[in-house]
Amino acid sequence: MEETEFELELNKKLDYLFEVEAGKVPDFERLELYASDPFGLVRAETATALGDCFNEQAEKILLKLAHDKYWLVRAEAVDVLGQKSFSLQVLKKIKRMTQKDRSMVVRAYAVLSFYDVAAALQMRKTEILSILEKGLENERSNYVRYQYYRVMYELGEKEYLNELFKGRYEKTYTSRCSVSGKLFEIVNQENAEEIKAFAIDWLKEEGKRSVRSGLEELLERCKTVIAESLTNKRL
């Protein structure tokens, strides 16, 4: 079946963006045009590509994409900014997004990106925690609150591990998947045994296959970290 003119044009744009992601020298005028493309997939992929050629021009375009009407584009833009930016302007923008963005997915990405940029700017841990605590107080979505718990745990607030553990009782399987994923991301030599025991117990009662798959990966991650810890002790 032949591609329509629209499909050909769309594929041409996506192919170019994939080439930029693979290392092709970017044309920022073209990328700026793509950031206003009528098709959301192109705008989202533009944000991804800008992360692979990041500079001041890329940052400006990403800040524009962070205002996009489509939540997926905003989420991708804020994620890339969190990984790449060292800008106070970006930090302020992301901080607003943690509280004001209408999409819970975007707010969750913004929480992690705020932490990443704040750390890159060497903001004091107490200041980061103070801002996050205020954000957590006003956040009603459990999906976003779990992101706060994860970040604040990584900042040394150990009590938030138990808050993450409570996520096993979430009604929706997507929320439970999200929680197991966040636990996977924070496993280290200090907490691996505790998280391993928790994952084993959770597996006994979890009926959803997709959640069980995530828990099995979490369990394997814990076992790997524990084995590495034992090896290091022997050396």
Encode pLDDT of 142-192 as tens digits: 999 999 999 999 999 999 999 999 999 999 999 999 999 999 999 999 999
Residues 80 and 93 grouped into a single domain: no
**Whether residues 133 and 179 fall in one domain:** no
User: Does residue 156 belong to any structural domain of this protein?
Assistant: no
Give a yes or no: residue 115 inside a domain: yes
Same domain? For 38 and 75 the reply is yes
Which CATH number belongs to the domain containing residue 27 in this structure? Answer: 1.25.10
* Distance, CA of 214 to CA of 199 (rounded, Å): 10
Are 113 and 77 members of one domain?
no
Question: 10 Å Cβ neighbour count for 181?
Answer: 14
> Does 93 map to a domain?
yes
Residues 191 and 141 placed together within one structural domain of the fold: no
Residues 33 and 80 in one domain: yes
- 59 found inside a domain: yes
Pairwise CA distance, residues 161 & 194, whole Å: 10
| Rounded alpha-carbon distances, angstroms, from residue 163 to 79, 140, 146, 149 | 24, 15, 8, 7
Confidence (pLDDT) at 5: 82
Domain, as residue range, for 12 = 1-84
Average pLDDT of the residues of the chain: 95
Q: Structurally, how many domains does the chain consist of?
A: 3
Final residue before a domain boundary, out of 121, 151, 181:
151
Say yes or no: 73 and 2 in one domain. Answer: yes
| pTM, full prediction | 0.90
d(CA 62, CA 51): 9
Regarding whether 80 and 1 lie in a shared domain, the answer is: yes
Residues 3 and 24 in one domain: yes
Cα torsion angle, 212, 214, 220, 222, sign: negative
> What CA–CA distance (Å, rounded) separates 124 from 75?
26
Q: How far are the Cα atoms of 16, 52, 156, 194 from residue 25, in angstroms, in the given order? A: 11, 10, 41, 47
Residue 162 included in any domain: no
pLDDT tens, residue by residue, 29-67: 999 999 999 999 999 999 999 999 999 999 999 999 999
Confidence check: pLDDT of 231 > 80: no
Tell whether 108 is covered by a domain: yes
CA–CA gap between residue 32 and residue 178 (Å, rounded): 33
pLDDT of 1 > 60? The answer is no
Name every residue whose Cβ is closer than 8 Å to that of residue 66 and which is 6 or more positions away in sequence: 74, 77, 78, 81, 93, 97
Q: Answer yes or no: are the C-beta atoms of 111 and 119 closer than 8 Å.
A: no
Same domain for 60 and 94, yes or no, is: no
Residue type, 187: V
Per-residue b or e along 25-34, where b marks 16 or more CB atoms closer than 10 Å to that residue's CB:
ebeeeebbeb
